[in-house]
Amino acid sequence: MSEMLRQAGVAEVLTFADAASACEKLATMPQGSVDLIVLDLQMPEMDGIEFIHWLRHWGAAAPRLIVTSAHDAQLLDVAVRLARDYGVPVLGGLSKPISALKLQALLRQSVDALPDVSGQQPRSPRLGLSEIGPAIAAGQFVPYYQPKVCLKHGRIVGAEMLARWQHPQHGVLAPAAFAAVFDDVPLLSALTDALVAQLMADLQAWQAAGCAVPVSINCDWPMLQDLAMPDRLLGLARLHGVAPALLELEITESARPAASAVALGNLVRLRLAGVGVVLDDFGNGFANLRWLGELPLTHVKLDRSLVHDAAGNARATQLLDSAMRMAQRLQLTTVVEGVERLADLALAKAVGCDQVQGAIFSMPVPADELLAQIRQRAPQSPV
């Protein structure tokens, strides 16, 4: 394995006889000094699952992980999913005996996910609520947009609005830097309102240019408990002359309890006005099946792991196909997010997905860049 990694371009390889020794060494090393861990599930004393439990405390700051095993593929798949559920950045799994070509392919496909160790790109800071509130009031938060591309004709047919913080010292910051806001419902609502106001101005400009596409707004479940929310959203749309059909609410995974009467009423009111409703992370957990029957949906966004895991995995492909067929029978538009690899794009096409979103087409961009992309993608552009 060490020689395979060196041949694949890894500069320095450390090997350990057991996981406990690796834990002891990693605990003494500076964060960011290790790029990749290749983990065997079957090890003496401390097995691979125990190591994953230990590694989970690092979260997204953990080194990238490749899981290997001589056991059956299903066991390997479960271990990979477990690590991802813990927030560990997993490149994938490899069955033993390990092929050098498969290892190299996995590293090549995921090279963009490896951290930049050049020293020119410092880690994003994590800022607290005391800084976030004043920044919202000062208008430092802006919407970025990640396009959704139709797999049938290659046009941009929608986008997801994502928050970015134009920090005066740190530059443009992604949500990881202001994650504290997601646990504070009033502050999150204030941030959403500020972003939606800017979205309306952008949609107004896109409509005038003849290039408007529907934009989805991430909506946490507690925000749907506000009876005034539909009136605020539709009032802003009327103020800017924006058609409600250009708006979609993306119901996020966090804390979705049994649907309340207030939340369902709000969603029905918005649907009656022409606003779309998107179920996020479809296929991730049993609860999603209930939401298909309870919520007035127009779209489902498939969990990215469904497609990522299915490439080259017959069992995972069957699960993806089943999820797609269920959504199609309910006449829901299907979207796959997080598409970064050509293999994932090909699979999304093969199972009949309607739209894809991900870095393979574009990272989240400011409003003017999205408008330029919409114009560049003519109706005949191939995907």
Between 277-281, 289-293, 301-305, the lowest mean confidence (pLDDT) is in 289-293
Kindly report, residue by residue over 341-360, the tens digit of the pLDDT.
888 898 899 889 999 999 88
Whether the per-residue pLDDT at 122 is higher than 70: the answer is no
Instruction: Name the residue with tokens 């090549």.
Output: 108
Whether the per-residue pLDDT at 328 is higher than 80: the answer is yes
Q: Could you give the CA distance from residue 112 to residue 358 in angstroms, rounded to a whole number? A: 13
Whether the Cβ atoms of residue 113 and residue 84 lie closer than 8 Å to each other? no
How is residue 371 written in tokens?
Answer: 């408008």
State whether 267 and 177 are in the same domain: yes
Question: What pTM value is reported for the model?
Answer: 0.72
- Cβ neighbours of residue 132 closer than 8 Å, sequence gap 6 or more: 178, 180, 181, 187, 191
Between 67-76, 287-296, 298-307, 344-353, the lowest mean confidence (pLDDT) is in 287-296
Residue 356 sits at the vertex; the CA angle it makes with 209 and 165, to the nearest 5 degrees, is: 65
Q: What is the dihedral of CA 301, 79, 35, 50, to 10 degrees?
A: 130
Q: What pLDDT sits at residue 179? A: 80
Q: How would residue 271 be classed by pLDDT, with cut points 50, 70 and 90?
A: very high
Q: Could you give the CA distance from residue 33 to residue 129 in angstroms, rounded to a whole number? A: 30
**End position of a domain, from candidates 81, 113, 145:** 113
State whether 95 and 160 are in the same domain: no
State whether 204 and 233 are in the same domain: yes
User: Does residue 124 fall inside a structural domain?
Assistant: no
State whether 223 and 321 are in the same domain: yes
Domain count along the chain? 2
Q: Could you give the CA distance from residue 203 to residue 209 in angstroms, rounded to a whole number? A: 10
User: Does residue 381 fall inside a structural domain?
Assistant: no
Whether the per-residue pLDDT at 165 is higher than 90: the answer is yes
**End position of a domain, from candidates 59, 79, 113:** 113
Q: What pLDDT sits at residue 259? A: 60
Mean pLDDT computed over 171-191? 85
Residues paired with 377 in a beta bridge: none
State whether 35 and 64 are in the same domain: yes
Q: What pLDDT sits at residue 285? A: 58
